[in-house]
Amino acid sequence: MPQISVERSGNVATITITNPPHGFMDAATVAELDAATAELDADPAVRAIVITGGVPGVFIRHYSVRELETLARQLRERGVAVDPARPVPPRDIDRVFGRLETTPRPVIAAINGFAMGGGFELALSCDLRIAEEGQYELGLPEVRLGILPGAGGTQKLPALVGTARALEMTLRGRTVGPAEAHRLGLVHELVPPGRALERAHQLAAEIAALPPRAVGHIKRLVRAAGAVPRDEGLALERTLFLDLLLSDEALERMSRMNADDRDIRDA
């Protein structure tokens, strides 16, 4: 049985994780997400993507620990050893999460329930996160299993809450409710129960109505901030600024604003 479904409404696509086993992500979930995100990323008609959970009270609870245990036993039987000087190559899950970060379309997580471990790392890979009020938890509790957040959590969490807070949360394996997640900046907005998907669609439609080339360039630049030297980032910024300035759409919008003497907020 498929674990995800994809629906399109105009230029907004919604990925719903409809049938994860017991709310857990596993290899089958990742494979379906890989196929769906690759297809949407290649479709110029799609200008925004929303991701949500289809199980009541669950975005994705976390990655399947049964699957992780099986993998660990298989690797140990094969005598696999790890050398930090020889990094492990990217996996399917890394490709999926990386695609969400690099696609020029905004990706919005409509968090409707539990999002821990790999589920929270999926949310962290999105550009915006909308969370419903409720009795559920978000965070990275992997240390309690003797492992660590292995799909980007240790790298992305500090960018949201700072190094000190990220250390406190990951070293303790501390998860938080949606209200505290909002206070900490883990999610952008907190909405009443049952409203996350609606609000995510509103934001997706708002951004999808804006010039897609400008949206893509802005996302690329902001995502790269801090990951590249400042001079390199500034050089790319002024280059992409000129690229947009010379575009037909920008010229048309600027001309219309000037002709009508509009405020820039109404352009």
Do residues 137 and 175 make contact, with C-beta atoms less than 8 angstroms apart?
yes
Does position 67 have pLDDT exceeding 90, yes or no?
A: yes
**Which residue stretches of 78-211 are H helix?**
92-102, 118-125, 153-161, 163-172, 178-184, 196-208
Task: Give me the phi and psi of 179, to 5 degrees please.
Answer: -65, -45
Assign 208 to helix, strand or coil: helix
Residue 142 annotated as catalytic:
yes
Every domain of the chain and the residues it spans: 4-208, 212-266
CA 98, CA 127: separation in Å to the nearest integer?
12
SS in 3 state form for 90-123?
A: CCHHHHHHHHHHHCCCCEEEEECEEEECHHHHHH
Fold of 4-208: 2-enoyl-CoA Hydratase; Chain A, domain 1 (3.90.226)
CA 204, CA 191: separation in Å to the nearest integer?
16
User: What global pTM score does this model have?
Assistant: 0.95
Residue 121 annotated as catalytic:
yes
* C-alpha of 230 from chain center: 24
Q: What angle do CA 46, 51, 57 make, to 5 degrees?
A: 160
CA 93, CA 128: separation in Å to the nearest integer?
19
pLDDT in tens, 134-184: 999 999 999 999 999 999 999 999 999 999 999 999 999 999 999 999 999
Among 191, 197, 168, 169, smallest CA distance to 179 is for 191
pLDDT mean over 76-97: 93
pLDDT in tens, 215-243: 999 999 999 998 888 999 999 999 999 99
User: One of 32, 132, 137, 142 is an active-site residue; which one?
Assistant: 142
β-pair partners for 139: 116, 175
Q: pLDDT-derived band of residue 77, with 50, 70 and 90 as boundaries?
A: very high
Task: Give the H or E element holding residue 58.
Answer: strand 57-60
Q: What angle do CA 118, 114, 18 make, to 5 degrees?
A: 80
Percent of the chain with pLDDT over 90: 88
User: One of 32, 121, 132, 137 is an active-site residue; which one?
Assistant: 121
Does position 261 have pLDDT exceeding 90, yes or no?
A: no
CA 239, CA 121: separation in Å to the nearest integer?
32
Does position 45 have pLDDT exceeding 80, yes or no?
A: yes
CB-side neighbour CA atoms (13 Å) of 246: 6
Does position 116 have pLDDT exceeding 80, yes or no?
A: yes
Query: What pLDDT is stored for residue 72 in this prediction?
Result: 94
Sheet containing 113-116: give its strands across. Answer: 57-60, 113-116, 138-139, 175-176
